[in-house]
Amino acid sequence: MPLYFAYGANMDAAAMALRCPASRLVGQGRLNRHRFIVMREGYASVVRDPARTVWGVLWDLALADIPALDRYEGVASGLYSKAALPVTTREGVKRALIYLGRSTAPGMPRPGYLDAVLQAGEAAQLPAAYLREMRGWLRGPA
């Protein structure tokens, strides 16, 4: 089963249990040399930034759950694409599946979306400074 790094709505364990019932939460992870953004479509993404880090959670993703996750992420419509990137875990650096927004233009989060992402981040005990940085997107592009 592939490792999957979630940094947005898919950090929410209850939502993932519905979308991907055979997958298992592993714990925290981080994507170095990237930063969190809200793209113009109103959803989370990450972009390269050598000085920043994106925090999130790792899932042991069941192969049977990948089609549902692809649908949720809008892969067929071009909203997100998939990549395998190095993610830092408790056990060291590992390659993980990640969904990258096709748009890199910053935007405003959809109503309620970022609140749900922040709640999931708090539940995952992501660093407080990182959560404050994410909360800044409630005011618009940084």
What are the chain's domains?
Answer: 3-127 (3.10.490.10)
The span from the CA of 89 to the CA of 22, in Å, is 21
The span from the CA of 56 to the CA of 86, in Å, is 13
Contacts of 51 (CB under 8 A, 6+ apart): none
Nearest Cα neighbor of 4 from 115, 68, 120, 94 is 94
Active site residues: 73
113 annotated to bind ligand = yes
pLDDT in tens, 91-123: 999 999 999 999 999 999 999 999 999 999 999
pLDDT in tens, 20-36: 999 999 999 999 999 99
